[in-house]
Amino acid sequence: MPTIKNRLKELRIKKGITQDKLATELNKGVSENEKLVSKMVISNWENNKHAIKPEKAQQLADYFEVSVGYLLGYEKFYEIEKDALESSENIKKLIQSHSNFKDVIDEFEISKVNSGKFVFSLFNETDNIELFEKQIKKAIIKQLEEEVEDVDTISDESLNEWVNGVYKALAELPIIYQEFLSQFLTLSINEQDSIMNLVTTLYENSFSKKND
């Protein structure tokens, strides 16, 4: 699972201050026994080389007027996790209340989509979700170009259904395949084609050896 990237550099640049200036701001009011924050420390934080300690994370969040979750890059991850958990709870409530069977099925489908998004966020930065969905839509359109006369007639709703289908499939896979597919689907179409060609070559070589 990759380290979730914090937003410190993004916030610092947006505020228009240097690493030296930020270090100076953080060192204001520091006691004699407390270690000062240097430009190198700021750089290591920004590049995820060192974790930001809780007290410094809070100080930085207060300085930039954001939540600690936003600063550390966890906020969107937690939102995705929350959606997945809420969907699961909603299914339990619907079953316990003897709700209409269709309502249970609909909520179950939503739950699988949210679970797939959560799986994706475990192996990627959450900012990649939009890229992931664009790549899926491009792949779908590329495939349908051979089957449909005018791809412009494909509605956004249909494309979104395809994307949701991928999320559902992702949620059902063993972890080793979840990680591979989550990262594979963020690649460009050309990169995906290159990997598929490599896999095909490896398979053919392996098949030939088994039959020699």
Contact yes or no for 170/112 (Cβ under 8 A): no
156-172 helix and 175-184 helix, angle to the nearest 10 degrees: 150
Phi, psi of 193 (to 5 degrees): -60, -40
Q: Which two tokens mark 114?
A: 């949210």
Q: Which two tokens mark 211?
A: 């039959």
Q: Give the model confidence (pLDDT) of 147-156 as tens digits.
A: 766 767 778 8
- Pick one of 3.20.20.60, 1.10.260.40, 1.10.3720.10, 3.50.50.60 as the CATH number of 8-73: 1.10.260.40
**Closest to 117 in 3D by CA, of 69, 86, 84, 73:** 84
Using pLDDT thresholds of 50, 70 and 90, give the confidence band for residue 42. very high
**What is the separation of C-alpha 169 from the centre of its chain, rounded to a whole number of angstroms?**
16
Residue 78: per-residue pLDDT: 57
If one counts every other C-beta atom within 10 angstroms of the C-beta of residue 48, the result is: 15
Report the pLDDT averaged over residues 115-140: 76
The CATH 1.10.260.40 portion of the chain extends over: 8-73
Distance CA 181, CA 120 (A): 9
If one counts every other C-beta atom within 10 angstroms of the C-beta of residue 166, the result is: 20
If one counts every other C-beta atom within 10 angstroms of the C-beta of residue 111, the result is: 21
Q: Give the model confidence (pLDDT) of 147-181 as tens digits.
A: 766 767 778 888 888 888 888 888 888 777 888 88
If one counts every other C-beta atom within 10 angstroms of the C-beta of residue 180, the result is: 13
